[in-house]
Amino acid sequence: MRKTLKKTITLPPPVTRGRMSLEKALLVRRSVREFAATPLTGRQISQLLWAAQGVVTREGFRTAPSAGALYPLELYVVKADGMFHYQPRRHRLSRLSDLDLRPPLFRATFDQKMVLEAPCTFVIAAVDERIARKYGRARCVRYVDLEVGHAAQNLLLEVVALGLGSVAVAAFKDAGVKKALGLPADQRPVYLLPVGRPR
């Protein structure tokens, strides 16, 4: 009999006082491309999601700046036990799949081994239309891509603070990533961040 999997996962609350200073995290951050198979804990995943896109005020402002506070980013987690979508306002995950989507994601990244071997890959996608409605098509991609950089750097520094490793991956086939993950038509994959314990 098949095990029933939770559709919604409430995450542990984020920690706002860590053991490592920001300056130390900046000093030691390096790209890591080889990972141990050890899965990330729920607490680690929670902290990384919060660092990238967590809500920090009653008004809904997040950890990363956003043009007009329009928040065009969508954050996904791809693991061996499925794919999940982050809901920042409720700080929880919605399960979108119970399949291991790392192999098709690996193929869409020109066979970059770390995407296949990392126990967890964070995928940042963008809904350009959220920005274009206010700032126009000519500026929206610039604003969105800057925001992706802010969110990714937050996540990468939190990775270091947790004693983990990561590498930023932008070399991939957009259509291949969209198909592998079943992303909605209006979402553009922008960045992949494989995360794990350095090997």
**Residue 6 pLDDT:** 73
Other beta carbons within 10 Å of 145 = 14
pLDDT values of the chain reduced to their tens digit, one per residue, 199 residues: 445 567 999 999 999 998 999 999 999 999 999 999 999 999 999 999 999 999 999 999 999 999 999 999 999 999 999 999 999 999 999 999 999 999 999 999 999 999 999 999 999 999 999 999 999 999 999 999 999 999 999 999 999 999 999 999 999 999 999 999 999 999 999 999 999 999 9
Distances (CA, A) of 187 to 73, 74, 88, 123, 174: 9, 8, 17, 11, 10
**Residue 4 pLDDT:** 57
Between CA 101 and CA 91 the distance in angstroms is 23
**Residue 1 pLDDT:** 43
* Domain spanning 32-196: CATH superfamily: NADH Oxidase (3.40.109.10)
The strand ranges marked E within 1-129 are 8-10, 73-79, 82-87, 92-97, 120-126
Say whether pTM exceeds 0.75.
yes
**Paired tokens of 111:** 């066979």
Other beta carbons within 10 Å of 59 = 7
